[in-house]
Amino acid sequence: MINIRTDFTIRESTHKDIKIMVDIWYKASVISHDFIPLAYWQENIEAMETIYLPSSENYVIIKSGEIIGFVALINQYLASIFISPENQRMGVGKELMKFVKSIRNNLELKVYCKNEPTVQFYKSQGFSIIDNSIDDSTGEKEYVMQWIINN
C-alpha cells in the first residue's frame, strides 16, 4: 500500500474491486468520450469486467475509504486511468500518475484525439505525442503518447 497524499491511499486492486472499477470506467467514459456512441460503452462492460481488468496490473486510489479511481497497466503500457466524475479535477489523476511513474521508467498510452482535456492532462504529466493511429473498435483517431523518466 502506498500513501501519496495524506487524503489518498493507493493500493493494488483485488478481485472484489472490479465491479467498482468497471462502474467508474463506464461513468467516466460516457462523459469524456461523448463522441463515441453510448452503445459502444454498454457493449464493453462485460469485457472490461471479465477480460480487460482481470488481465491487467491494477491499482485503485481511495479517499475516505471509497475507491474513486484506478489505473490499469500492461507492462509499460498505461491501458487506462479513470477517475469517478465527481472526483475529477481534484488532483486524483495527478496522484495516480505520480504513483505509476514511481513504479515504471517509461510508459506508453493511446488517447482519442478528440478527448482534448485528457490529451492536455497527459502533456502536463510529461507525455509526448510520438505517433497517430486509428482505434479499430471505434474508428476514432488516437495519439500514441510516451513518457520516459527524465523526459
Residue ranges of E strands in the chain: 2-3, 9-12, 57-63, 66-74, 77-83, 106-112, 128-134, 141-148
Fold of 2-148: Aminopeptidase (3.40.630)
Per-residue pLDDT of the chain (151 residues; tens, 9 = 90+): 544 556 789 999 999 999 999 999 999 999 999 999 999 999 999 999 999 999 999 999 999 999 999 999 999 999 999 999 998 888 898 999 999 999 999 999 999 999 999 999 999 999 999 999 999 999 999 999 999 987 5
In the numeric block, which cell numbers belong to residue 63?
A: 479517499
Rounded to whole angstroms, how far apart are CA atoms 11 and 112? 27
Domain segments of the chain as ranges: 2-148
Q: Cell match 527524465: residue?
A: 150
Cut 0.85: pTM above it: yes
